[in-house]
Structure 1
Amino acid sequence: MAHPPHPSRPVVRAVLVEDHHMVAEAIRLAWADSGEVEVVATVGSVAAAVTEVRRHRPDVVLLDRRLPDGDGLDAIGRFEEWGARVLVLTGEATVSVAARAAEAGAAGLVLKSARLEELTDAVLRVAAGEVVFDGGLLGGVLDQLTGRAKSGVVPLTVREREALVLMAAGASTEEMGARMGVARNTVRNHVQRVLEKLGARSKLEAVAIARRDGLLD
């Protein structure tokens, strides 16, 4: 029997990118009964994922790393353009893999061996704006990211600082645009300047550097 969704929380719309059909179908069927996550498309390649994310504009993309036509991490930036947050699904959880996912813009990483309840919780948290990395990895990820920071950071403008605060809150590009009252392209420009000034390669890295340097106190 399907469980009704949480009364105060809308159903999360997700695109599932997994090239192993049995794994993808098991996840899709389980979520069909959960009442919390709706799989709007299931695909098995980077190219198909780009098409379906553009078509459906999901809340979350659950993304396998190793796909027949390339590394899923390389497409994360494109998914964010359409307002989706990305949760990486991987069989390998190391600091280097997690750091690379974070650099690419992923909002989290979860193991394929995770229980369905853990996977569902991770998807819901990512959809709610949280960053979801295993506690045992997060410290190492932040160490790697902040270790690449440049010295002599240029002061941020008021708008750039506002963008940084929203980034730290886990807001998507669309949410940032709505909060700041500007177009998506303007948001991307602000974010890019923040990344350049902080010497960061991703939003998560920028937030880590900002926290280390007291810019978010």
Structure 2
Amino acid sequence: MSVRLMVLDDHRLLAEALASALKQRGHRVLAAAAPAAGAAELVISRAPEVCLLGTREPGRAGVFEPVRRIKKERPQVAVVVLGPVPAPRGIAEAFAAGASGYVRSDERIEGVERAMLKARAGEAAVAPALLEEAFCELLNPAARPDDEAARLLGVLTSREAEVLVRVAEGEDTRVIAAGMGIAPSTARTHVQRVLMKLGVGSRLEAAALAARTGLLERAGPARLEAVPHPEAGTPAGPVHPR
């Protein structure tokens, strides 16, 4: 049974090779492309029966956003993701975005073809073992990467969280002190405690750790809460503009 499809992959050579192999098996390939962006728009405009969407990083945030766009605009298009086998949550998130299947990128062409046919028929095109792991993970989520941010934030006081945000913004000790209405020596002590609690040796390392784990986003609200409200009767001191 011939399938009208599109093959999209970040690597054009791989997209064209897969498209060529599927053409030889009697399928109609509308396009084989490697769009850095605009994958969803391309599929929406051509409306294939099946879209094979390759990815190298199934765990990256936002990687399945094109799938959501396609399913929103063209719900009849079956999207099959081709990629490495990630943690089960990666597969679960592909399905949660609307994908009809997930196939290993090193699968034989016969396996890809079977997945296309199953997806077009409205079936889940994924190995049963992978599907079971994915949905177990979706229903019983394990600790997420941002739990590390929560753990680290838990060891900081609200004042230290504010100091961390200011350090990440590049403020030196004098500016931190002025912004928080404290003495420079106190600001210096706060900075040293932050470095010690985070287990890093420099302000640069602290800023990098905060950005990598999402700690900076978590610490932002803590900074706001730490600034006394003028109506509370406690002088807030000058606040350094962000």
Shorter chain as normaliser: what TM range?
Answer: 0.5 to 0.7
Letter in 1 for 2:33: V
Report how far residue 42 of structure 1 moved. Answer: 1.6
Q: Deviations over 1:146-172 (max 9, x none)?
A: 347xxxxxxxxxxxxxxxxxxxxxxxx
1:55-204 → structure 2 map (5 Å cutoff): 55-66=45-56, 71-80=62-71, 81-82=73-74, 83-147=76-140
Structure-2 separation of matches of 1:31 and 1:71: 28
Letter in 2 for 1:26: A
User: How many residues in Structure 1 have an aligned counterpart in Structure 2?
Assistant: 136
Gaps of 5+ in 1: 1-5, 149-217
Contact kept? 2:103, 2:115, Cα under 8 Å? yes
Equivalent in the alignment of 2:234: none
Structure-2 separation of matches of 1:66 and 1:48: 17
Report how far residue 12 of structure 1 moved. Answer: 1.3
Larger RCO (CA under 8 A, 6+ residues apart): 1
Aligned to 2:28, the other structure's residue is in SS state strand
Contact kept? 1:89, 1:109, Cα under 8 Å? yes
Equivalent in the alignment of 1:40: 30
Structure with the greater alpha carbon radius of gyration: 2
**Matched-pair identity in %:** 30
Of 17, 28, 35, which residue of structure 2 is paired with 1:26? Answer: 17
Aligned to 2:21, the other structure's residue is in SS state helix
Gaps of 5+ in 2: 142-242
Equivalent in the alignment of 1:16: 7
Contact kept? 2:3, 2:49, Cα under 8 Å? yes
After TM superposition, the score normalised by the length of structure 1 is 0.57
Q: Deviations over 1:26-68 (max 9, x none)?
A: 1111111111x2210122126332232122111111111248x
Equivalent in the alignment of 2:150: none
After TM superposition, the score normalised by the length of structure 2 is 0.52
Q: 1:71 to 1:13 in 2, by over 3 A?
A: farther
